[in-house]
């Protein structure tokens, strides 16, 4: 059996708590747990890590409603402790 060389996962609700947080300026922020990053640092030695994020947006243009669905793909290169804190 061939060893896996790729780890693919969804970002929302897997790497985050699934909630939206808003800054004072109204920008959306996500909350990530430090343990997830540590686990990915271990995995990155053995696997290429890819995260996906699905964005659904509904907007109005010239009195018509449009739905936009976008899938973003991130190739993750987590920083180890030294890279994060020097």
The model's pTM: 0.54
Which among 30, 34, 29, 41 is positioned nearest to 77, based on CA atoms?
A: 41
pLDDT: which is higher, 66 or 86: 66
Average pLDDT score over the chain: 76
Give the domain ranges of the chain. Answer: 6-77
pLDDT tens per residue, range 7-35: 888 777 777 777 778 888 887 777 777 77
Which are the contacts of 37, defined by CB distance < 8 A and separation ≥ 6?
78
Q: Is the pLDDT of residue 61 over 80?
A: no
**CA of 23: how far to CAs of 15, 18, 46, in Å?**
20, 16, 36
Q: Is the pLDDT of residue 82 over 60?
A: yes
């Amino acid at each position: 059996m061939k060893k896996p060389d790729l780890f693919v996962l969804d970002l929302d609700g897997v790497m985050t708590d699934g909630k939206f947080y808003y800054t004072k300026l109204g920008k959306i922020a996500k909350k990530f747990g430090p343990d997830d990053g540590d686990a990915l640092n271990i995995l990155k030695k053995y696997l290429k890590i890819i995260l996906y994020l699905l964005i659904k947006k509904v907007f109005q243009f010239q009195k018509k409603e449009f739905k936009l669905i976008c899938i973003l793909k991130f190739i993750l290169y987590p920083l180890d402790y030294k890279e994060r804190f020097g």
